Amino acid sequence: MGKDQLNVEEGDCLEPVSPTGQYLNSSVLSLCIIAVLDSEFPLRDLPIFALLKDVFLPINPRFSSLMANDENGVKHWRKVEVKLEDHVKIPIFPPELSPETYDNHLSDYLSTIAMEQFPHNCPLWSVHVIKYPTSHAAADNPSVPLTFPSRASASNPNLSANSDSIFSTIPKVFGYAFNTVSDFGWSLLKSSFVEDDKSLIRSGDPGVEFKPVVISTMTFSLDQIKQIKTKLGVTINDVITGTIFLGTRLYMQGKVGGSSKLKNEQSTALVLLNTRAVREYKSVKEMLKQGAEKTWGNQFAFLHVPLPELSSAESCNPLDFVRKAHKLIQRKRNSGAVFLTGRFLECLRKYTGPEATAKYIHSTLKNSTMGITNMIGPVERVAVANYPIKSIYFMVVGSPQSLVTTMVSYMGKLRVAIGTQKDHIDPGKLKSYLENAFRMILEATQDVD
């Protein structure tokens, strides 16, 4: 995002910037999202300007607004006229190369735009049209309508009020209170003072967010993930998080087997959680109404999850990483620390301002080893201007971390993207270890009844 801010002029059409928007576009923290849509067919006659004008801009007023400061330094959105030609980029690559070679060109191009800052005098977005075939292209026709998988979870019979006596409830209450205090206190320490160890996946370099990043992707079958989920009695997130934990530990170890000394550096994954209970879209105007039930803007909190350690340099049980991920995440989700962290960020913004809050979030990211975030994508195939989309992925750039992992589901597949510090992590080897970790977990579940 652009860091230079404009001032509000008299007569401007204003709309307040959400708290999250103020955190993530500040002098100390500037995060951007790169979203990639792989088309089934070559983009020969894509009506990009008509598409942006008639479909994209009307989606949200943010796409045609600038962030500006009023006389009190409070940030607002100012409506402006959008010059579409300033936002559309069409790079030129060498002609008639193989899809695999164009994969490399695309990766280099994404690394380049990840380092760029948006100009402060136009809305904070751009569209890049890549008219070259990569290895992610070809298939069937798009489907209609567009739906998303349900997020409703099955009820847990163990949580039935009738099954708990007062003698079993009291220990749970004390356990909940202890976990809440412990997790929240540890979160404050990790965000403020305690840094993870430097390792093969964490350089600890100052200004790491300004270093070149390489974006790589891999695809996993949701059917296979669900197979593991059912066998182990965990969630889909537990399976993929356990895979990431195992793969990164194996990468840090440098080999799957052998007799080398264990390299179990203290490493923490920072899992981003949405803490809003609302699922449907609400406009800013609706959320700002007096007495509105919906909380204004996006609400989020961080979950500090330590990477499980390898128990042996010679061998390890891959299923242990999924079970440990499940146990760790379940424990932390069931404490009040997530809620307290969200409230703490809001209080910090209220009493010290968005810049101080952004500095705290920057420290939280910097002191951890990796970031993990995910989103649920469409079940059916989607199309843009009648061009069917084969796959989707995204990456968060500008974070002061050497490793960021993102996930999005689409049409029965889970696309995982890894953003790695170019001069510190070997993306090819890390990707290989992650894919191997998933195979190890899948094979190990065959022996589970």
**DSSP letters spanning 201-219:** TB---TTGGGS-EEEEEEE
Tell me the C-alpha distance between 210 and 28, whole Å.
12
State residue 290's pLDDT score. Answer: 62
Among candidate residues 177, 174, 196, the one with its CA nearest the CA of residue 185? 177
State residue 162's pLDDT score. Answer: 47
User: Phi and psi of 386, rounded to 5°?
Assistant: 70, 10
DSSP 131-190: -S--SS-------SS-----------GGG-GGG--HHHHHHHHHHHHHHHHHHHHHHHHH
State residue 14's pLDDT score. Answer: 65
State residue 342's pLDDT score. Answer: 80
Tell me the C-alpha distance between 230 and 91, whole Å.
45
Both tokens of 241, joined, read 């998080």
State residue 207's pLDDT score. Answer: 92
Q: pLDDT digit of tens for each residue in the chain (449 aa)?
A: 444 445 555 445 567 788 788 888 888 998 999 999 998 888 888 899 999 999 899 888 889 998 887 777 778 888 899 999 999 999 999 999 999 999 999 999 999 999 988 887 889 899 999 999 988 764 634 444 445 555 544 444 443 444 456 656 777 777 788 888 888 898 899 999 999 999 999 999 999 999 999 999 999 999 999 999 999 999 998 999 999 999 999 998 874 444 456 677 899 999 887 665 555 555 556 665 666 555 555 666 778 899 998 876 556 889 999 999 999 888 887 788 888 888 888 899 889 888 899 999 999 999 999 999 988 888 888 888 888 999 999 999 999 999 999 999 999 999 999 999 999 999 999 999 999 999 999 999 988 87
State residue 259's pLDDT score. Answer: 46
State residue 407's pLDDT score. Answer: 94
State residue 4's pLDDT score. Answer: 47
**Hey, which residues does 416 pair with through a beta bridge?**
218, 407
State residue 156's pLDDT score. Answer: 43
